[in-house]
Structure 1
Amino acid sequence: MKKTTVMLVMAMAGVATVQAEPVKLYGQLNVSAQSGDEGEGRFSELKSNSSRFGLKGDYALEDGLTLVYQLEWGVNVSDSSSSNVTARNQYIGLAGNFGEVRLGRHDTATKMSQGKIDQFNDFEADVGGLWEAEVRANNSISYFTPSYNGFGAQLTYILEDSVDAEDAVSAALFYGDDNLKDSNIFLSVAFDSEVNGYDSVRVNGQTKVAGVKLGAMLQRQEDIITGLEQDGWLLSGAYPLGKTELKAQYQTLEDDKAISLGLDYKAGKDTTLFAWYSSFNLDTPTPDRDYLAVGIKHKF
């Protein structure tokens, strides 16, 4: 709690001392009451699903340059342990006609390449539950190209930070709008080299037909040390019914499988009530597991 208080005071002090700059305080609270069975019997708990807060902004410089920055922290609002506050994307950078460069901690290009395809992001059935390559990289330099005719790219270079390590690279090519607002299609292809001990290739696509969102992802990953190669795929869908959205997702990694069903209810502009069920069938020594949750998410 002491650490949380210090970080919150620092954040608020930052807002107060840079009033001349366009600084935005933002975040989200996402908490669910959850019942789970991970092979040893059913139990209940409150889960803070990547609740977060942060500061971000930009500042006009000379010669057509803009300073950009973001400081974001995750906060566990259901637990007062020593890991209550954790670092998320935190960077400083420059933007201009050349694109944008960010220095610090940032999601890799492969992680960013999924767009909004993962309908259960931040929950138990997040794609990172089965797949590698969902990395928020320390010591990274990220470059974003300008958008041209719907195309854009991201390159993440991760510095080794150790004499025994290797520099790593993550790159992605994008087309369309990942929010499916400016266009009804989003496509991307990405790869990782030496990122957190894995090489990977990922292909993503999402479209909207008569208001229904349909998404698909393919991934091949290889453990650099063992040489183990694994393939997986994911299908997702979201169907709107007034203020309610019905969601479904199916993900595999070789013989491991996860299926999820859920619904979101828009209770207000920034507030969503949700319920979901996820089941994992795992062909490993790890026992099968399933989860049922209801909760509330509020953005500010």
Structure 2
Amino acid sequence: MNRKTLIASSVAAAMAVPAAVQASDLNFDFYGSARVQVESVRPDNREHLDSYTGVRDAYSNIGFNADYPLMEGLTLIGQLELPLDLANKAVQDPWDQEQDVRVAQIGVQGEMGTLLYGQMWLPYYNAIAAPVDMFSTYYSGFATYTAFRQGDTVSYYSPDMSGLSFAFAWSEDNGDNDDNRVQLTGSYNFGDTTLAIGMDELNGNDNTRIVGVSAAHAIGNLYLAGKFERISSDDDATDGNNAVNVYAGYTLGKNTFKLMVAEVENYGESIVHVGVDHQFNPSLTFFAEYYFEQETAAITEKRGGRQQPYDSSEGTLGDVRGGQVFAAGVRFDF
């Protein structure tokens, strides 16, 4: 049994224990999201990857949340979420196609905060990268140095203390060179503004660390956000690399217009992302986006992910040197 399957089985088994005791107190919330786009991709260097038009999944998923009251002020919680790559007709993440579980976590929640174990969204991503990760296509979220989710992770989220909160995570073997990964974040929310600072310690042979800050502010229908990240490492090739993102979104009726510009050294370089969402009804959203990257970060072969080179005989990810994408799709939440 592989590690991902073990985590998922542990969550299911743990949630089944209280169910056998008193099933009426065990709450399940099932959910899912089908997201598919049609895209036209035009790499800048077409020696190893030609332009193409095709269908790609935009992070479809299905799962459930569960909770069970252990005692007054303390609740057992769990979540299992699987990726559905509809374009490839597989249970896998469309980018990391070796990943067949998105979230598999269990923990407790109470007045002292939330303690979780399993595969989960990481605190550093939640605090620093998520405020600018607002697009609907497959190309959302790439303009950051950190990982989104990891397994074998223990995390703690503090309760809100007059707007101030912090989080911590320890992730086994998920840093550089299979070293352990440690994250620490702090956030302060006042009114319609949120400020955050975070550290992502990857350790490894080069003692790599990512530090970041983010800010988000809402003014009526206008949402503004930005983040800054910097890598500190003994590796001269990555030490001092910066990632800067600025995002703006404006909602007008059923339409939300989005714009992000970013400069991510050694991972995309100059990036421009523009889009619009149309909320047809609470469950159905149509979207259209334009994405440009100066160097290769998100663009892959047709329906490919990070494991697929452009040409197995001679091409590599860096051979394409960026490009542009036009995409339009639909999202149905249930």
Which of the five TM-score ranges fits, normalised by the shorter chain?
Answer: 0.7 to 0.9
1:192 to 175, 192, 200: 200
Q: TM-score, normalization: structure 2? A: 0.76
Query: Where do 1:180-219 residues align within 5 Å?
Result: 183-194=191-202, 198-219=208-229
**8 Å contact from structure 1 (residues 277, 290) kept in 2:** yes
CA–CA separation in structure 2 for the residues paired with 1:22 and 1:121: 30
State how 1:4-43 maps to structure 2 within 5 Å: 20=24, 21-38=26-43, 39-40=45-46, 41-43=50-52
Pick from 94, 97, 110 the counterpart of residue 108 of structure 2: 94
- Code of the aligned partner of 2:42: D
Q: 1:175 aligns with which of 183, 188, 203?
A: 188
Report Cα offsets for 1:125-182 as digits up to 9, x if no partner. Answer: x332x432133121110001011111111101112389x74322111111228xxxxx
Displacement of 1:115 after TM fit? 3.7
1:204-283 aligned within 5 A: 204-222=214-232, 225=235, 228-229=238-239, 230-254=241-265, 256-282=269-295
Q: Is the 8 A contact 2:183 2:199 kept in 1?
A: yes
Q: Which of residues 79, 83, 86 is equivalent to 2:88?
A: 79
Shift of 1:225: 5.0
Alpha carbons of 1:66 and 1:121: their partners in 2 closer, same or farther (altered >3 Å)?
same
Q: Distance in 1 between matches of 2:232 and 2:30?
A: 39
Are 1:55 and 2:64 matched, yes or no?
yes
TM-score when normalising by structure 1: 0.84
- Residues matched between the structures, number: 280
Alpha-carbon distance, 1:208 to partner:
1.4
SS at match of 1:61: strand
1:67 aligns with 2:76: yes
Is contact 2:85-2:91 (8 Å) kept? no
Contact 1:119 1:249 in 2 (8 A): no
Which residues of structure 1 form unaligned runs of 5+? Answer: 1-6, 178-182
Write 1 or 2 for the structure with the bigger share of strand: 1
**Cα separation, partners in 2 of 1:213 and 1:61, compared to 1, 3 Å:** same
Query: Larger relative contact order (C-alpha < 8 A, sep ≥ 6)?
Result: 2
Residue matched to 2:164: 151
Partner of 1:180 in structure 2? none
Please tell me the residue identity of whatever aligns with 2:116. Answer: R
Partners of 2:271 and 2:125 in 1: CA distance: 19
Q: CA deviation at 1:253?
A: 1.5
Structure 2: gaps (5+ residues): 1-7, 94-98, 297-317
Flag as ranges the 4+ runs of structure 1 deviating above 6 A: none
